[in-house]
Structure 1
C-alpha cells in the first residue's frame, strides 16, 4: 500500500486570509485549446492579521505569462511560482496586482475549472476550481466584487455569459465579439462562472414581490428548446415560494440557468448563473419520468434558494459546508412538499407530504446511514479533511438537512422564520460559521421560551454517527399511568476512532403517539426532547397498555430500539393515523422477516414459506382503497435490498436478493387478480401531468405490473409489452422496459433493448436510462457489462454515462456485482483506476463502493479488501481516491 497521504487540513487551524481583495477584474480571451486570462486584483492588507509581506495565491495547471505589481513588471526574484501557488514578495499594504496566464480547457478532463463540453466552454469552481482558471486566494472567506470581460470568436461561441448583470456587448475585429458582466454583490471565487457557446434560450419576464421586473432565462443545447418549459416553471415557482415562505427576493436583474452535458455534480449555484447537469433541466413527457420531473423541480429550487443560503451568506471555510448545504436541502425539501400539496384538499395534501417525507427518509437511510457506519463517518461539520471534494457527502447534505429540520421542530415555524430573518440581518454579505446560524436560532427561541437553549443541540455539529434510542414502556393499569423511558447511545465511529473522544448526549426530538388496541389515540401527540443519556416521561389517564407510535414524521435521524411485538407492528401498519409511522411499521415487518429468511437461506439454501404477518400486512395495504395511490405505492414497496443488507450484523447481499426475489414472486402470484384490478384502476388516460395525483396512480399501477412480471403471471408479459409499445409518456415506457429487462424472458428482453435504443438513440439523457436499466439488470454480469461498455455510445469521459453504466452495475446490480467468482469486485477496481486517471472526483465517489467491506460475510469482505489494496498500491493514484481507500483500509 502507498504510504504517502495528502496533507490533512484541520478546522482548528483556521486563520483569516491576511489580505482583503475587494475587487477583481477579469479579461478572458476564450479558446478551447488555449484561454488567456488577465486578472487585475486590488489587495489590501488586513490590519488585524500579523503576517509577512508575502501574498500567496493558489494556482494549478496554469502557465504564467506576466506579472505586475503597481504597474511594475516583476522579475523572477520578486515572486515564487510552484505547481500549486504563486507567492508575490514584499507586497505593500495596498496594491494592484495584474496577472496574465493561460489554461487549456480542452485538456481538462477533471471538469473542474474551465473545461470543454461538446462545443461549449463551462466553469466549475466549487470547491477549488477557480485556481485552475487564474491565480487567486481560492477560499470561501475572500469575497470580492467581480467585473468580467469575455472575448471569443462569434462563430465558435456566439453566447458569452458570466455572473451578475450584463453591462454591454460589442463586435470586435476578425469575427470576434465581447460581453461585459458585473456582479454587484461580493462573492467568493467558488461562485464565479463563465459559459460560452451556442445555446437556445427560453426566457420569462416577471416581477418580484416588491414590484421589480426581473428576467429569468434557461439556456440549453440547440434542438432541446421543447424540453425546458418545466425548468422555467419550476424556477418561477421557486422564486415565488422563497418570497412567500421566507420573505427573500431575487436581488439581481436576471437569473440564468444553463444545461451542461458534462458535469460532475447535479448543479451549481454560481451567483445569478446556475450551471446544471442537463439531467436536471431537460424534460418533457416523452423523455422524462415522473421522478425526473420532481428531481428537476427540487434541484432548481435548491440552487435558486442558495442565492441567499450560500451566496448572500456564505461559509467561512469548507468545514462549514453544511451551513449552506444542509440548510438549503431542508429548504428544497420543504419547497417540494409544499408544491406537492399545493391546491389539494387537506387529506390529499397530507398524503402528498407524507410521500415526500418517506422519499427523503429513504434517501437518507440508503446513503447516509451506511456512511455513519463506515470509515468516512464524520460530523456534519468535519474536523479535518485531505481533499474537500470527498466531503460533499450525504452526511453534510442529507443529515445536515435533518439537523435543520430538528431545529424547525424544536422552535416551530414562527420562531424558525424569526431565526432565519435574524440570521440574514446579522450576516448578509458575510462568510460565517454553523455557530453563527445556531446563535441566530437560539436568539429566536429565547424570544418565546427564555428558559430553553440549544447548547446540547450543538453536539449534532461536533459528533458523528447515528444515535440509537432505546425505548422502554411501562404501564400501570391501576394508576392508569404510562411511563416512557428513552436512552441514547452513540459510540465513536469513523474518524472519531482515530483519537480519543468522549461522546456527549445529543438533543433529540422524539415525536410520540400512544394508541389503543383499535389504533385510536390515547393522548395527544407530543414531542419529547431527549437531552440526557436517559430520561423518563409520565402519561396519565392511560387506561390500557398502549402501542407507541415512535419517531413520527421521522422527527430525528436516529435508530429506534423498541421490542415491538408482531401484533403491535400489525396494528400500526393498519391503523396508525400518522402516515409516516404507518409506512415505517410495514417496512419494519418486511425487513425483520427478510433478514430471518435470508439467514435461513444462507444455512439451508432453501426459501421458507412467506411469513403470514408480512403477507397479511402487505395484503391489507393492497386492499386499502381509501388511501392515496402514491402513498399506497410506498406501502406496497418491499424494502430495497440495500436497506435490509445494512441491518445485518454480517451483510449477505446474495441471500437478501434471493429472499426479496422470492417474496415479490409469491406476493405477485397470490394476489394476481387484485394486482390486475389495481393496474386497470390506476390508468391515467388523457394529457400527461407530473402532479401528485396522476404521478401517484402511475407509481401504483407500475408497481402492480412489476409484481405480476416477477410472478410470471400469464397475462403479465402481454400487458407489459403492450404498455412498452403504446405508452404515451416516459414514466410508463420506462416502467415496462425495466420490467421486461429485469424480469422478462430472453425472448422478451433482447428485442425490447434493441427497440428502445433504436427509438431513443438521438436523446442522450434517455440513452442514459437505457444504459442504466441494462447495467442494473440481474442478468448482467461482468462479461455482459464489458460488452455494454464497448457500445459506441459509451464514454468514460461523461460522468452521466459513467453513472449510468459503471455506478449502476456496482451499486444497483447486487447479483452481478457480488457474483461469487469475484469478477464484479475486480471490475470495480479496474474502473476506479481508469477513472482516476481522467476524473479523480468521480473515481473517488466510485471508490466508496468499498467503504463497507469489513461488514460483509467473510468471503465478500476478503475479496473487497484485496481490491481495495490493489487500488491503494497504484503508483499514480490521486489524492482524492487515496484518501477514500486509505480510510477504508484503516478499519
Structure 2
C-alpha cells in the first residue's frame, strides 16, 4: 500500500510524486484522551490556544469598501467548552475512542476460514452482500464462540449449516457478531447483510464516489462490507459474484481470474471472479463503474501469456502509456532479479481520481489514485514519470511480498511494506540512476525518519503497540543491510 501525501500550500515541501512509501511517510499518531485529568489539561491548552488566536485576530474585510469595519469576537463564545455530556454521548465517545493494541496480547484464532463466497447485488439505495464461509475450528470440539467483526452493517440473516439462527442464538453489538454455540467440526456459515456505499464517507470498505463503486480494505475496512474475522492471519480462497445495472456499471471487477459473465433480465449483468490462492480479507477488492482500459500482454519466462489492463475514465486512457510500460518492466525485473513469476492469467490496474489512498496492492486488482498512474509529456515532469515507475512497481511486487506471503498480524507490517519498499527502490535504481536514487532515499530518511526516531514517537521496526495501522513503520533500510 502507498499513501498519497500532498504538501499543503506554503509548507515549503518540494513537490514529488513518490509519496507515502515507508521510507518517506511521517508517522501519524492520533491523540487519545484517557482520563479526566488529561481531559482537563487538554481543555486548558484549548482555551490558551483560542485566547492566543483571538489576540492575533485581524479586522475582517467585507465585500464592499463601505462595509469595512472591525469585528469584535466574543471570547466567552469562542472559548466555551462543554463540561458534561449526556450518557448516550459518553457511550458513543467510548465506542469511537481508539483502542491501543499490544503485541503481547496476540493469540491464534479459534477458527480458520477455508473458502469465502461473496455475492454483491449493487443498488442505488442499498447493496446486499451474501457471504458463505467454510469454517474450520483450530481444535475440533472447540468450546469458544466465533466472534466476527462488523461495523455499520445491517444484519439480515445468519445460517449455520443451512439452518437459520434466531435472534437468541447470537449476540449482535455495534462492532461484533458473536456466535456462542457452534458445531464441533467443520461447518458452513451464511450471512446476509445490507450496506449503503453511497453514504459511506469513511472511504473504508465499499463506497461509491463519482458514480463508481470502489473498495479500500487495508487495514480493517473489510468489516464494513460483511461480518468476518478481520485480521491478516485468516486466509481463505475467494469467489466473488457481482451483479449490477449494465448501463450504470458496465465494468465489474474483483480479484483473480474472470470465470463467468453474462446478461440478466431488467438491464442487469453479472461477473464471477475466482482467486485460487488464499489471501487475507484486507486484499479483497471490488470496482464497478464506467471505465475503459488500455490492454496489453506479458509473456512470462515459463511461456504463459498474461493479460494486462489499466482501467481509467475514458478521457484518461491516452495518459496510461507510461504506466503500462512500468508494469511490464516490473514484471520482467521481478523474474530476472528475484525469480518470481506472476501467478494468474490477468492483472488489472484501476486508476480513479478520488481513491482515498495513493495505491493499494489488492491481489490482481491494484487500485491507484490517478496521480500515480496518469502522465503525458505535456504536463508531467521527470519526477512524475519516476514516481509512477516506482509506485506501480511497488504494488506489483506486493504480489509475492505481502499477498502470497503475508504477515501474521499488523505488528509485522515491515515484513511486507519494508521488504517491498526495498524491492521497489532496487527496481527504480536499476531502471534509472542508482546514485541519484540513493541520494533521494537517504534525503527522505533524514527529513522524515530521523526526526521521528529522535522524538517521543520513536519505536522499533516491530512496534510493541499501535492504535491504528494506516501508518507505515520503516523497515526498508533493515532489509538493505541484511
| TM-score, normalised relative to structure 2 | 0.79
Distance in structure 1 (CA, Å) of the matches to 2:125 and 2:392: 32
Deviation at residue 58 of structure 1 after TM alignment: 0.5
Distance in structure 1 (CA, Å) of the matches to 2:199 and 2:454: 38
Match of residue 205 from structure 2: 113
Deviation at residue 53 of structure 1 after TM alignment: 3.5
Match of residue 145 from structure 2: 54
Match of residue 404 from structure 1: 479
Secondary structure in structure 1 of the residue aligned to 2:426: helix
Distance in structure 2 (CA, Å) of the matches to 1:378 and 1:143: 29
Q: Which of 464, 476, 479 pairs up with 1:383?
A: 464
Task: Give deviations 1:731-763, integer Å, cap 9, x for gaps.
Answer: xxxxxxxxxxxxxxxxxxxxxxxxxxxxxxxxx
Match of residue 74 from structure 1: 165
Distance in structure 2 (CA, Å) of the matches to 1:315 and 1:255: 22
Confirm or deny that 1:264 pairs with 2:356. Answer: yes
Q: Which of 172, 175, 180 pairs up with 1:84?
A: 175
Distance in structure 2 (CA, Å) of the matches to 1:2 and 1:320: 27
Secondary structure in structure 2 of the residue aligned to 1:28: strand
Match of residue 455 from structure 2: 374
Task: Give deviations 1:412-455, integer Å, cap 9, x for gaps.
Answer: xxxxxxxxxxxxxxxxxxxxxxxxxxxxxxxxxxxxxxxxxxxx
Confirm or deny that 1:255 pairs with 2:255. Answer: no
Deviation at residue 32 of structure 1 after TM alignment: 4.6
Match of residue 49 from structure 2: none
Q: Which of 112, 119, 125 pairs up with 1:20?
A: 112
Match of residue 312 from structure 2: 220
Deviation at residue 205 of structure 1 after TM alignment: 1.5
Q: Which of 361, 366, 374 pairs up with 1:282?
A: 374
Map residues 633-672 of structure 1 onto 2, 5 A cutoff.
Answer: none
Map residues 341-352 of structure 1 onto 2, 5 A cutoff.
Answer: 352=433
Match of residue 296 from structure 2: 204
Task: Give deviations 1:762-804, integer Å, cap 9, x for gaps.
Answer: xxxxxxxxxxxxxxxxxxxxxxxxxxxxxxxxxxxxxxxxxxx
Would you tell me which structure has more helix in proportion to its own residues?
1
Map residues 286-435 of structure 1 onto 2, 5 A cutoff.
Answer: 286-340=378-432, 352-389=433-470, 392-393=471-472, 396=473, 399-407=474-482
Match of residue 183 from structure 1: 275
Native 8 Å contact 1:32 1:121 kept in 2 = no
Native 8 Å contact 1:231 1:300 kept in 2 = yes
Distance in structure 2 (CA, Å) of the matches to 1:334 and 1:232: 19
Confirm or deny that 1:154 pairs with 2:246. Answer: yes
Distance in structure 1 (CA, Å) of the matches to 2:298 and 2:468: 41
Secondary structure in structure 1 of the residue aligned to 2:148: strand
Q: Which has the larger radius of gyration?
A: 1
Distance in structure 2 (CA, Å) of the matches to 1:321 and 1:126: 11
Distance in structure 1 (CA, Å) of the matches to 2:411 and 2:354: 27
Secondary structure in structure 2 of the residue aligned to 1:224: helix
Map residues 25-44 of structure 1 onto 2, 5 A cutoff.
Answer: 25-44=117-136
Secondary structure in structure 1 of the residue aligned to 2:120: strand
Deviation at residue 142 of structure 1 after TM alignment: 0.4
Deviation at residue 216 of structure 1 after TM alignment: 0.8
Deviation at residue 287 of structure 1 after TM alignment: 2.4
Confirm or deny that 1:7 pairs with 2:99. Answer: yes
Secondary structure in structure 2 of the residue aligned to 1:223: helix
Distance in structure 2 (CA, Å) of the matches to 1:375 and 1:106: 40
Deviation at residue 379 of structure 1 after TM alignment: 1.2
Secondary structure in structure 2 of the residue aligned to 1:314: coil
Secondary structure in structure 1 of the residue aligned to 2:167: coil
Distance in structure 2 (CA, Å) of the matches to 1:32 and 1:323: 40
Secondary structure in structure 2 of the residue aligned to 1:315: coil
Q: Which of 186, 189, 194 pairs up with 1:94?
A: 186
Distance in structure 2 (CA, Å) of the matches to 1:406 and 1:206: 33
Confirm or deny that 1:125 pairs with 2:217. Answer: yes
Native 8 Å contact 2:363 2:403 kept in 1 = yes
Native 8 Å contact 2:110 2:144 kept in 1 = no
Deviation at residue 265 of structure 1 after TM alignment: 2.0
Match of residue 530 from structure 1: none
Match of residue 496 from structure 1: none
Deviation at residue 51 of structure 1 after TM alignment: 5.2
Secondary structure in structure 2 of the residue aligned to 1:296: helix
Distance in structure 2 (CA, Å) of the matches to 1:174 and 1:180: 19
Distance in structure 2 (CA, Å) of the matches to 1:260 and 1:58: 29
Distance in structure 2 (CA, Å) of the matches to 1:31 and 1:295: 37
Match of residue 21 from structure 2: none
Residue 264 to residue 370, structure 1, CA distance change in 2 (3 Å):
farther
Task: Give deviations 1:345-384, integer Å, cap 9, x for gaps.
Answer: xxxxxxx211110011111111211221233221111111
Distance in structure 2 (CA, Å) of the matches to 1:400 and 1:263: 26
Task: Give deviations 1:606-640, integer Å, cap 9, x for gaps.
Answer: xxxxxxxxxxxxxxxxxxxxxxxxxxxxxxxxxxx
The root-mean-square deviation of aligned C-alpha atoms, in Å, is: 1.3
Report runs of 4+ in structure 1 exceeding 4 Å deviation. none
Distance in structure 2 (CA, Å) of the matches to 1:44 and 1:252: 27
Distance in structure 2 (CA, Å) of the matches to 1:215 and 1:377: 44
Distance in structure 1 (CA, Å) of the matches to 2:123 and 2:478: 45
Deviation at residue 180 of structure 1 after TM alignment: 0.2
Distance in structure 2 (CA, Å) of the matches to 1:365 and 1:32: 48
Match of residue 416 from structure 1: none
Distance in structure 1 (CA, Å) of the matches to 2:357 and 2:446: 21
Task: Give ranges in structure 2 of 5+ residues lacking alignment.
Answer: 1-31, 36-96
Distance in structure 1 (CA, Å) of the matches to 2:258 and 2:245: 19
Task: Give deviations 1:31-89, integer Å, cap 9, x for gaps.
Answer: 353111000011010128x9534111100011011111111111111001111111112
Distance in structure 2 (CA, Å) of the matches to 1:136 and 1:370: 39
Deviation at residue 196 of structure 1 after TM alignment: 0.3
Distance in structure 2 (CA, Å) of the matches to 1:42 and 1:387: 29
Residue 285 to residue 33, structure 1, CA distance change in 2 (3 Å):
farther
Would you tell me which structure has more strand in proportion to its own residues?
2
| TM-score, normalised relative to structure 1 | 0.43
Q: Relative CO higher for 1 or 2, CA cutoff 8 Å, sep ≥ 6? A: 2
Native 8 Å contact 1:117 1:260 kept in 2 = no
